[in-house]
Structure 1
């Protein structure tokens, strides 16, 4: 099942069911108006939404209409929680090597995670708005899950049972603001502006064999200004799976329905697979040549993030954003 939220002038939008080929949609208002409401009582609403999905995929849904990603908000336009991890430890290791800093051994056994802003999440084609290019504008292609209620101290294997939906993420970073923030010892804030998500959120079964062991085993395709710069495999080198990440978030608290947990920037040790954020490319340049040469994004730049199935069909639709100046 694939779900999206259309812009309708309200903060939480209108929930729709989307066909498997992403061509058509049907409004779900007669069942449940918003995705958050559906997640709050998933066992009741999910079977009804699935019936509508089956009808849509079979061409029997009444009042079906053409699906347009440009009309989409984030699947969850505002969420109770957005917790982003760094499950691809290769990415962290490269950053530290470029700084000639030691890699703490516990980074391989205990996930890094920060709590991002979840009150203003972007749709797949919403602009990346920034006040200054000097901030160091970067994209970060990731995978995320949306959970139902997760009990405190859940075990990783049990945590996977609480995954309801998966999405793609562009976790935009303002790289030149981050060092000073981290230097204060209190984490990200200004360096992490609004995050964007794919047009649709999908139930795990939509991924078929590509979803196993709490990982998505498909390449993440990233284009920057129309040029392919990355195609790392999301399942390769993901040190912590989503069960482990959810369990980490729930170690000392309950995690409530509608919480989003991100994987962090997808990164493979095989550098021929390219990169999912500019910072990683700059780290590789620094390690090899002593200094980076690739610049961060400029006003007018674009980034496109997508995952395809084995038949070459888009699973989540594309995040396709442009960078614009504030008040442009």
Structure 2
């Protein structure tokens, strides 16, 4: 099943798509409310009368995630981003991730503003799994039943801001703080079961285009960990909760412009007016246009303070 969140007559609605691309309203205020019972909620909605065609509504993000973890699971992407320096040995030991900003989530076709102060704006082609219900210290086998479905994830990145802040040993932070696109809908695992390979990875074709030109393509099955393993690792020593989003990380072979730059490409960074289209087999596509962002208001450099101590 495919579940969407959409705007209709000033209201936010949840619906499930039928084969004719009609939305059947789901009895829920948000998709998160029914993540643990999607098949039943979808079946009940499909038994009722259809609502509008999906082409007649404005699609919103499928959900508003309480947290976002973005992993880096494609070895080729790591190689490309490091410009020939090789993959760190630590990368092979565990699926590393950073936390994203849940307040920056945009819908599948919403315009994306340039982050203030950047001159090197970039997209990132990813797929995300959405957590269905709470769990802690899960095994990969247990984690499979905690995945509600999958959606496309575009981790927009201000590469110059990201590079500067990561020299401090933290981040990425402001470099990935302005926008994150999800959509167009949430696809339940049963829809993609036929795409699994012998290792349990989803063999889905991924394509990235800028202004109609293909700049990258890969297979999701080139991930070095399964989504079940990502959920299990995310739950280690803590809790994952309904609606948590876990990104695959950027695919290789042109899954972002920075990888191409590090391989010698002179392709320019994204600018206002550029349209990025990301397509994932079995899920759908995001097509979004970059627009001008806010002005960057200057801040002073760090104040070099005298180091007084209590009682001094």
TM-score range normalised by the length of the shorter chain = 0.7 to 0.9
Following superposition, the deviation at residue 93 of structure 1 comes to 2.0
Identify the match of residue 48 of structure 1 among 41, 50, 54: 41
Give the 3 Å change call, closer, same or farther, for CA 174–64 of structure 1 in structure 2: same
SS in 1 for 2:79: helix
Q: Corresponding residue for 2:13?
A: 14
Whole-Å separation in 2 of the counterparts to 1:266 and 1:151:
27
Q: Corresponding residue for 1:219?
A: 205
Whole-Å separation in 1 of the counterparts to 2:187 and 2:196:
11
Whole-Å separation in 1 of the counterparts to 2:201 and 2:22:
28
Following superposition, the deviation at residue 63 of structure 1 comes to 3.7
Q: Where in structure 2 are there 5+ consecutive unaligned residues?
A: 296-312
Whole-Å separation in 1 of the counterparts to 2:231 and 2:196:
16
Q: Which moved further from structure 2: 210-219 or 197-206?
A: 210-219
8 Å contact kept, 2:149–2:188: yes
Give the 3 Å change call, closer, same or farther, for CA 135–69 of structure 1 in structure 2: farther
- What are the superposed Cα offsets for residues 5-64 of structure 1, whole Å, 9 maximum, x if unpaired? 012546xx311111246x211111xx222101112xx24x641322434x4xxxxx4143
Give the 3 Å change call, closer, same or farther, for CA 70–95 of structure 1 in structure 2: farther
Following superposition, the deviation at residue 150 of structure 1 comes to 4.0
Q: Write the mapping of 1:151-162 to structure 2, written as runs, cut at 5 A.
A: 151-162=135-146
Following superposition, the deviation at residue 326 of structure 1 comes to 2.0
**Alignment partner of 1:293 is 2:256:** no
Query: What is the aligned length?
Result: 292
Q: Corresponding residue for 1:85?
A: 71
8 Å contact kept, 1:136–1:174: yes
Q: Corresponding residue for 2:53?
A: 66
- What are the superposed Cα offsets for residues 213-250 of structure 1, whole Å, 9 maximum, x if unpaired? 45321111211111122221111x21111111111211
Two-structure CA RMSD over aligned residues (Å): 2.1
Q: Write the mapping of 1:103-142 to structure 2, written as runs, cut at 5 A.
A: 103-131=87-115, 134-142=118-126
Whole-Å separation in 2 of the counterparts to 1:144 and 1:164:
11
Q: Corresponding residue for 2:308?
A: none
Larger strand proportion of the pair: 2
Give the 3 Å change call, closer, same or farther, for CA 108–231 of structure 1 in structure 2: same
Whole-Å separation in 2 of the counterparts to 1:105 and 1:150:
32
Could you state the TM-score of these two structures normalised by the residue count of structure 2? 0.87
8 Å contact kept, 2:34–2:41: no
Following superposition, the deviation at residue 297 of structure 1 comes to 0.7
Whole-Å separation in 1 of the counterparts to 2:274 and 2:88:
35
Q: Where in structure 1 are there 5+ consecutive unaligned residues?
A: 56-60, 268-273, 286-291, 309-314
- What are the superposed Cα offsets for residues 148-203 of structure 1, whole Å, 9 maximum, x if unpaired? 23422211222122111100111101101001211122212210022101211110
Q: Corresponding residue for 1:171?
A: 155
8 Å contact kept, 1:74–1:121: yes
Whole-Å separation in 1 of the counterparts to 2:17 and 2:259:
34
Q: Corresponding residue for 1:323?
A: 290
8 Å contact kept, 1:70–1:125: no
Q: Corresponding residue for 2:33?
A: 37
8 Å contact kept, 2:125–2:251: yes
Identify the match of residue 233 of structure 1 among 203, 208, 219: 219
8 Å contact kept, 1:2–1:20: no
Could you state the TM-score of these two structures normalised by the residue count of structure 1? 0.83
Between structure 1 and structure 2, the one with the greater Rg is 2
Whole-Å separation in 2 of the counterparts to 1:246 and 1:318:
24
